[in-house]
């Protein structure tokens, strides 16, 4: 008998030991999963904290008769363009780490021949003695690779090798191949400028409608900058800096600036240099005398578009900018200075993130992907960019910035994954405001409903009624949030647009209606049969709410409109760009209903867990049920109620589907109730599938995921600590 008992005990111990191993193992897997999740989030966002830099790769030189005039991404197979003898333009490609001529572009020596770089692409520009201009994009080297070098050198470049060339004519009386001339391209315009003595002739040609030609002539111009992307022309004269738009007459000049820093700029000499970015919506002004560089962006003003200064940089003594190059997909600008330095700055905030000395002496720099090319007459120097997404700074993420096209500093989230050389707006402020605003307003709706229901079922209701109501309310927590979002988007949003004033009136008046119902329900309930008295308060409350809803829909809009005029509503609404059905009020209603069951469940447990001895002692001292509720029950259960509210706030902050389906997803930095919003969670769901892996956009999205995870983790942890504390207090009591 003792042997069997011993055998049973050993079997039990063995089962307990294996159960402990299994439970411990699965618990360890949960912790391991959490660690992997956190590690992945941090690892994807960590490159934003690295300092960007450039690392030398190699230098390629050309022979004595040749001179480099432009370059493509040579390492990726694009050509290097060199000026050769006999008026030829040579195109070289990298073959086994050696620059080899693949073609010669041949024109008679009375032709004017040069190259132009625009939006990451090189063009060959030749002008005939008869003032006929041809602009040819350099492409198609896959077709040239099957042709011998001798055939290339002995013939003119065939039209099949280059695509979509552009041709137009200049006035013959204006053209002189010995004159100073420049050309610039955008997606819509080609602008050609000719300097003759003290005059400047400019011809605008519409690329989509070549017959649309605009000619202008200016006088007393010291220097100029062609900016077809913004349909404008910058002119530097003795009196200052001006710009002229394509639709303006030649005599219409708008002044841009008269000073930089604390000293007035002398525009009459050559100490001032102008550098335009690819889209021609931003230019840099460098002044050698003051050693300062300022950034000017196209801005909206009362008089239309103009250029406004956004920030300034100060260089070393005797140093000025030689060239400016912007990255195609990041807010990164490289400044090449005369002191053989390359300064990497954030193009939005102007912060100098990295300054690096170089041994080469290029006069031009160009970004191709993550490689920076430096061009001099005889050498092409290539650097590899490292951790370029680290150009993102705290200021660019959270502080207001002066973006292109805006009249003042703003906080804007607007990515540019579909367009190169576009200024990306990565301000997280609108997303944080959206998440916080939606969560706080959801709490304003959920707290009265959830806490009121918890107080009723835990303190006033009989156990029989409580056992029915509590599971029914908690069952609402199982409803998928996507279903709540679907109902809100399909039914509630159109109703909100139709009954906006009704919703507002209902939310404001409902507390007073419930107080009135509570006042009259007891005398009425005493006249009912005993079986119907208990629980009758629910019927009274529901009836009062339904009556208020009817009054709100039928009579409230006319009553509210009669109290205020149209101008008052316009002032309250502001310049709302969101549809009424996609405003914060609708989001708050849907999100408040979604988090109410979870707040109710935890708060009800805290209130119901208050020891009965405390309540009985209060009654024995002559306190009423309401006094006992306020001064005893709620006082003891307050930590648990606060924990429930914090958990509800954390869930609202991390909610995705409701804010994704109902808000309209407009990233607006506004606390207005009739404005739309975009939450952090919705932004992740929308943009993460479209972001390029390892791009700055991708890493910033993971950074927002880290913020979201950290916030919800801290909120839930703090709420659980408070909950455990109050549970221990109740147990000890």
The pLDDT tens digits for 395-425 are 999 999 999 888 888 999 988 666 788 888 9
**Could you tell me the pLDDT band of residue 145, with boundaries at 50, 70 and 90?**
very low
Give residue 612's pLDDT band: very low, low, confident or very high (50, 70, 90): confident
Q: What is the pLDDT of residue 152?
A: 40
Is the model more confident about 200 or about 416?
A: 200
pLDDT at 348: 92
Largest CA distance in the chain: 124
- Residue 706 has a pLDDT of 93
**Choice among 95-104, 110-119, 285-294, 559-568 with the minimum mean pLDDT:** 559-568
Across 429-438, 484-493, 503-512, 660-669, the highest mean pLDDT is recorded for 429-438
Residue 467 binned pLDDT confidence (cut-offs 50, 70, 90) = confident
- Residue 562: pLDDT band (50, 70, 90) is low
State the Cα angle at 87 between 102 and 61, rounded to 5°. 50
Q: CA 65: distance to chain centroid?
A: 50
**Percent of the chain having pLDDT more than 70?**
86
SS3 of 216, please? strand
pLDDT reading at 162 higher than 60: no
DSSP string, 573-640: H-S--S-GGGSHHHHHHHHHHHHHHHHHHHHHHHHHTS-HHHHHHHHHTT--HHHHIIIIIHHHHHHH
Q: What is the pLDDT of residue 151?
A: 41
Those residues with Cβ within 8 angstroms of residue 180's Cβ, 6 or more apart along the chain or in another chain: 194, 195
Give the Cα separation of 656 and 681 in Å (integer). 5
Give the pLDDT score at 360.
85
- 404 φψ region: left (φ > 0), alpha (ψ -120 to 50), beta (else): beta
Cα–Cα–Cα angle for 396, 400, 405, rounded to 5 degrees:
95
Alpha carbon dihedral 376, 378, 382, 383, in 10-degree steps, equals: -50
Work out the pLDDT band at 277, boundaries 50, 70, 90.
Answer: very high
Report the chain's mean pLDDT, rounded to a whole number. 82
Which range among 111-120, 428-437, 479-488 has the greatest average pLDDT? 428-437
The answer to whether 553 touches 506, Cβ cutoff 8 Å, is: no
Strand order through the sheet with 364-368: 53-61, 379-386, 371-375, 364-368
**Whether the predicted pLDDT of 260 surpasses 70:** no
pLDDT attached to residue 318: 83
Instruction: For residue range 577-588, list pLDDT tens digits in order.
Output: 455 556 777 888
State whether residue 442 is helix, strand or coil. helix
Judge whether residue 511 has pLDDT over 80. Answer: no
Tell whether pTM > 0.75: yes
Q: Give per-residue pLDDT as tens, 52-68.
A: 999 999 999 988 888 99
Per-residue pLDDT averaged across 627-640, rounded? 87
Q: Quote the pLDDT of residue 150.
A: 36
CA 261 and chain centroid, separation: 31
Average pLDDT over residues 200-209: 90
Buried b (16+ CB within 10 A) or exposed e, 441-452: bbbebbbebbbe
pLDDT at 700: 93
Is 91 within 8 Å of 66 (Cβ atoms)?
no
For residue 390, with 0-12 CB atoms within 10 Å meaning exposed, 13-18 middle and 19 or more buried, which class applies?
buried
pLDDT of 684 over the 50 cut: yes
State the number of CA atoms in the 13 A half-sphere of 224 facing the CB: 29
Average pLDDT over residues 352-370: 91
Nearest alpha carbon to residue 46 among 475, 297, 389: 389
Checking if the pLDDT of 381 tops 90, the result is yes
pLDDT of 712 reads: 87
Least confident stretch, 258-262, 299-303, 374-378: 258-262
- Tell me how far apart the alpha carbons of residues 728 and 302 are, in angstroms, rounded to a whole number: 65
């Amino acid at each position: 008998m003792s042997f069997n008992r011993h055998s049973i005990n050993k079997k039990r111990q063995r089962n307990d030991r294996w159960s402990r191993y299994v439970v411990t193992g699965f618990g360890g897997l949960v912790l391991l999963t959490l660690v992997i999740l956190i590690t992945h989030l941090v690892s994807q966002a960590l490159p934003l904290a690295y300092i960007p830099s450039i690392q030398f790769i190699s230098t390629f030189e050309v022979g004595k008769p040749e001179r480099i005039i432009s370059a493509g991404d040579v390492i990726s197979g694009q050509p290097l363009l060199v000026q050769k003898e006999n008026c030829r333009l040579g195109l070289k490609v990298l073959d086994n780490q050696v620059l080899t001529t693949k073609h010669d572009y041949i024109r008679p020596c009375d032709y004017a021949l040069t190259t132009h770089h625009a939006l990451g692409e090189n063009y060959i520009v030749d002008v005939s003695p008869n003032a006929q201009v041809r602009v040819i994009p350099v492409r198609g080297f896959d077709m040239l690779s099957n042709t011998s070098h001798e055939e290339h050198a002995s013939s003119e470049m065939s039209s099949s090798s280059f695509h979509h060339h552009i041709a137009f004519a200049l006035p013959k009386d204006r053209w002189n191949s010995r004159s100073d001339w420049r050309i610039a391209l955008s997606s819509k315009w080609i602008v050609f400028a000719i300097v003759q003595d003290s005059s400047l002739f400019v011809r605008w040609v519409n690329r989509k409608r070549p017959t649309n030609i605009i000619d202008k002539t200016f006088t007393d111009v010291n220097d100029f900058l062609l900016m077809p992307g913004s349909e404008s022309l910058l002119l530097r004269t003795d009196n200052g800096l001006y710009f002229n738009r394509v639709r303006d007459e030649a005599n219409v000049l708008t002044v841009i600036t008269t000073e930089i820093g604390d000293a007035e700029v002398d525009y009459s000499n050559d100490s001032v240099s102008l550098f335009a970015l690819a889209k021609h919506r931003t230019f840099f002004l460098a002044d050698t005398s003051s050693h300062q560089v300022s950034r000017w962006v196209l801005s909206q003003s009362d008089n239309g578009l103009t250029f406004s200064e956004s920030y300034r940089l100060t260089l070393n003594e005797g140093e000025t900018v030689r060239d400016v190059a912007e990255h195609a997909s990041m807010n990164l600008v490289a400044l090449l200075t005369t002191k053989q330095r390359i300064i990497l700055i954030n193009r939005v905030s102007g912060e100098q993130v990295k300054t690096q000395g170089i041994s080469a002496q290029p006069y031009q720099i160009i970004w191709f992907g993550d490689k920076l090319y430096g061009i001099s007459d005889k050498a092409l120097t290539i650097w590899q960019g490292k951790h370029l997404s680290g150009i993102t700074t705290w200021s660019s993420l959270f502080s207001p910035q002066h973006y292109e096209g805006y009249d003042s500093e703003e906080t804007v989230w607007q990515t540019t994954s579909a367009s190169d050389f576009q200024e990306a707006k990565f301000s997280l402020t609108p997303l944080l405001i959206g998440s916080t605003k939606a969560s706080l307003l959801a709490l304003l709706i959920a707290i009265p409903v959830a806490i009121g229901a918890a107080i009723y079922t835990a303190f006033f209701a009989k156990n029989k009624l409580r056992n029915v109501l509590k599971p029914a309310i908690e069952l609402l927590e199982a409803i998928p949030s996507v279903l709540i979002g679907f109902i809100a988007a399909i039914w509630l949003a159109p109703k909100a647009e139709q009954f906006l004033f009704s919703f507002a009136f209902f939310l404001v008046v409902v507390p007073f209606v419930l107080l009135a119902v509570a006042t009259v329900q007891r005398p009425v309930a005493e006249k009912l049969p005993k079986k119907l008295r208990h629980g009758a308060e629910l019927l009274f409350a529901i009836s009062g709410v339904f009556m208020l809803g009817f009054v709100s829909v039928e009579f409230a809009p006319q009553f509210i409109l009669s109290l205020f005029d149209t101008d008052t509503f316009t002032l309250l609404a502001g310049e709302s760009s969101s549809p009424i059905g996609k405003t914060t009020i609708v989001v708050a209603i849907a999100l408040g209903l979604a988090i109410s069951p979870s707040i109710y469940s935890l708060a009800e447990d805290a209130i119901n867990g208050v020891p009965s001895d405390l309540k009985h002692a209060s009654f024995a001292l002559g306190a009423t049920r309401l006094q006992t509720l306020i001064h005893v029950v709620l006082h003891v259960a307050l930590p648990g109620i606060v924990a429930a509210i914090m958990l509800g706030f954390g869930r609202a902050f991390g909610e995705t589907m409701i804010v994704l389906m109902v808000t309209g997803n407009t990233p607006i930095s506004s606390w207005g109730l009739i404005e739309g919003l975009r939450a952090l969670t919705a932004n992740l769901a929308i943009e993460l599938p479209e972001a390029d892996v390892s791009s700055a956009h991708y890493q910033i999205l993971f950074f927002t995921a880290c913020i979201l995870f950290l916030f919800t983790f801290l909120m839930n942890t703090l709420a659980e600590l408070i909950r455990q504390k109050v549970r221990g207090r109740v147990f000890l009591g």
